Amino acid sequence: MKIESIVENVTINIDGQDVEVPKGINIIEAVKMVGKGKEVPHYCYHPKLTIAGNCRMCMVEMGMPMRDRATGEAVLEEDGTQKIAWMPKPTIGCATNASPGMHILTGSEMVKESRNGVTEFLLINHPLDCPICDQAGECRLQEFSAEHGRGYSRFIEDKNVKPKRTRLGPNVTLDDERCILCSRCVRFSKEVADDDVLGFVDRGTYSTLTCFPGKELSHNYSLNTVDICPVGALTSTDFRFKMRVWFLKRTHSICTESSVGANTEIWSREGKIYRITPRRNDEVNDTWMTDTGRALYKEIESEDRLVHYTIEGVHKASGEAAVAAAELLKSGKIAMVGSAHSSVEEQFFYKAIAERSGAKVSLVSHNGDGDGLLQSEDRTPNLRGALVTGLISELPSENLEALARDINSGAVKTILAVNEDLTELGISKDVLAKAKVIYVGSHANRTSEVANIVLPSLMVFEKDGSFINQSFRIQRFKAAIPGPLGVQPDFTVLEKIAAALAEREGYSDDHRLSMGAHGSDN
Amino acid sequence: MTIDSVWERMVATIDQLGDSLRWRTLPEKGVALDATAFLDLGFVETKNLKYDPAAFKEAHAAPVEV
C-alpha cells in the first residue's frame, strides 16, 4: 500500500539553491534542511515554543517571484528567468513561512549588517564575564558574537547594573545582567509547564526577568528554562560552577522516573556524573524532561549502595554467588518478584530463570499521580518490557499479600527478589524469615539485609540496555560511567544462573538451545 | 557475554523484536514495537505529552493493510 504524504512540499530558493521543504515551515527550519551546517542564528526562536520574534537575530533577505500587477503575468529577467522582488528590508526568519517560489538570502551584506547591529545592541549591557560565566562553552551569544559580531565594542558608557544570583526557585538561579530578554523561559513556563510564573518588569534596557509577586519558579520542569536559556542568565543551582561543559562526556540515556522514557543525555567526567539534560525526541519528550528525573543520578553515590556479592553475609566472587543462587533456585517452591526497573535484557534472563526454576513471577506496581506531561502514573521505566519478554502476562499487583500467604503455607520456600523491599509490600520480616531469599538490587534495604544471597546490580547510568516505554517504543541506553569495582553487568550474572539451572536433569534440549543453556559465550 | 549476544538470543525468541533489530543499531529515537497483543490490558497511564491511551489503542487495533 502506498501511503501518500500528508505534508505538502514547496520549492524555495535558499542562497541560490532550490530546496524542497514542507509548506508553511519557517525559514530557520527550512535553512536547517539544506544541511552542510547551514544555520540562521537565533535566540528567541525555539522549535517547541510559540514564535515571539523579539530577538531580531534571524534576519534574512526575502523575495518573491515578481508578477505584473495588472496582468498577473510573471515578470522575466533578460535571460528569461523570473524576476525576484526583494523586500527592501530584512525580515525575521522565525516568523516567515516558506511559500512556493520564495527566495531567501542568509548571507548577503544586508543580512550580515543586520546581525552585526543586533549583536552590538545585545552586547551593550551584557557583562564581559565569559571567563567566569557558567554558560561558557554552550553560550549562543558567545558563539554568535564571535561569528556575527564586529569584534570590538564602541560602547564607552557604563553598563547597566542588574540583580545577580537571584533565586527564582529551588533549582534555578538568575543572573539578570546576562539576560537578553529572549522570553524563551517565559513562554516555556506558560505554554509547556502551564505555570505562568515568569515575566519582564521595567522598560527598555532596564527590562528585567522576574517571577510574578508571590510566586517562584518551582514547577517540576523549571530546569528546562536553564536548558533553553541561550545565555548564562538562567543557571542550574545544582550544576553551576561545578564543571566546565567542554570537559564533560555526553552519553545517551533514558529517564527511569516513569514509563514515559524521556530521552536524556548524561554529562560525566572521569566516572562522575555532573548533570542530566533532555535529548530531543519528538515522539517521546520533545526537548523536555522533569527536574526530578535529572536528580536520579545522585543515588549512585548513596551510602546504602550494594557493592559486594555475598552469601550469608560473606563476600564472594560474582561467579560463586551466581552458582549458589542457581543451587538455591533448583530446590523448588520458588517465587520471583521481578522489577519493571530492570532492562529488557535483564527481564529476558529473569524469564529464563523463572521458566527453568518453575518460579511463579510477580511484579509490584509503583504508581503515582501523572502530571499530564512527562511524569506518567506508572513510575517504572520498563513495565512493557516485562510484558514483551513474557516475564509477566498480566499487569502488576499492588502488593505481595498473596506471596505472603504462599510463604506461610509452605508453598514457597525460596524468593528471588529484584529491586523490591518485600517488607514494604505486605510480607513482614517474620514471614520473610520462613523463606530463603536471593536479593538482586543496586541499593540495600530490609530485604537485602536478611537475604541469604545478595547480587548487587548496576544502575542505569552504569550499563548498556534498553527499555520499552508507555507507547511500546524500545529505546536504548548506554553506560555513562563504570559501575562499582567488581560489580558485573546484571545480564552476565543472570545468564550464569540461567545456564546453571538449565543443566539440571530433565530440562528440555529445545529450551537449552534457545536460551543459550550451554554456558556463557565469553 | 555482551549485549550483542544477548540480543541475538532475544530476537530469536521475542516476536515483537522481529528479525532485524539489534541493540547496537537501534535508532537513537527508538523503535515502536507491535503492541497489539497487549491492547486489552488496563494500563494506568492517562493522557500525557505524547501519549493518549485511547488514540494509541485505536491506532494499534486498526487492521493492517497488506
ipTM reported for the complex, 2 dp: 0.95
Of A487, A412, A494, the closest CA to residue A456 belongs to A487
Does residue B44 belong to any structural domain of this protein?
yes
Quick check: A319 contacting B, CB < 8 Å?
no
> Is A350 within 8 Å of A342 (Cβ atoms)?
yes
Does residue B50 belong to any structural domain of this protein?
yes
Does residue B65 belong to any structural domain of this protein?
no
Which residues on adjacent β-strands are paired with residue A212? none
Does residue B29 belong to any structural domain of this protein?
yes
List Cβ<8 Å contacts ≥24 apart for A48-51. Answer: A48/A192, A48/A286, A48/A287, A48/A288, A49/A184, A49/A187, A49/A188, A49/A191, A49/A192, A49/A228, A50/A187, A50/A191, A51/A26, A51/A94, A51/A95
What backbone torsions phi and psi does residue A174 show, to the nearest 5 degrees?
A: -110, 135
Nearest CA in chain A to B25: A476
pTM (two decimals): 0.93
Does residue B33 belong to any structural domain of this protein?
yes
A475 contacts in B (CB within 8 Å)? 26, 29-30
Quick check: B42 contacting A, CB < 8 Å?
yes
In the stretch 3-42 of chain A, residues with CB closer than 8 A to chain B read none
Q: Do B49 and A345 touch (CB under 8 A)?
A: no
Quick check: A259 contacting B, CB < 8 Å?
yes
In the stretch 334-393 of chain A, residues with CB closer than 8 A to chain B read 344-345, 348-349, 365, 367, 370-378, 383-384, 387-390
Does residue B10 belong to any structural domain of this protein?
yes
In the stretch 447-506 of chain A, residues with CB closer than 8 A to chain B read 464-466, 468-476, 489, 491-492, 495
B43 contacts in A (CB within 8 Å)? 378, 383, 395, 470
> Is B13 within 8 Å of B6 (Cβ atoms)?
no
- pLDDT tens for residues A375-411? 999 999 999 999 999 999 999 999 999 999 999 999 9
The domain tally of chain B equals: 1
Å between A363 CA and nearest CA of chain B? 14
Tell me which residue range forms the domain holding B54. Answer: 3-60
Considering only CA atoms, give the Rg of chain B: 15
- pLDDT tens for residues B12-60? 999 999 989 999 999 999 999 999 999 999 999 999 999 999 999 999 8
Q: Do A377 and B5 touch (CB under 8 A)?
A: no
Determine the pLDDT at residue A512.
Answer: 46
Secondary structure (DSSP) of A408-458:
HHTS--EEEEES--GGGTT--HHHHTTSEEEEEESB--HHHHH-SEEEE--
pLDDT < 50: residue spans in chain A: 1-4, 509-513, 516-522
Helices (H), A229-287: none
Residues 6+ apart with CB under 8 A from B12: A514
Quick check: A260 contacting B, CB < 8 Å?
yes
Does residue B8 belong to any structural domain of this protein?
yes
Q: Do B29 and A260 touch (CB under 8 A)?
A: no
Determine the pLDDT at residue A507.
Answer: 56
Q: Which of A371, A466, A495 has the CB atom closest to B26's CB atom?
A: A466
Does residue B66 belong to any structural domain of this protein?
no
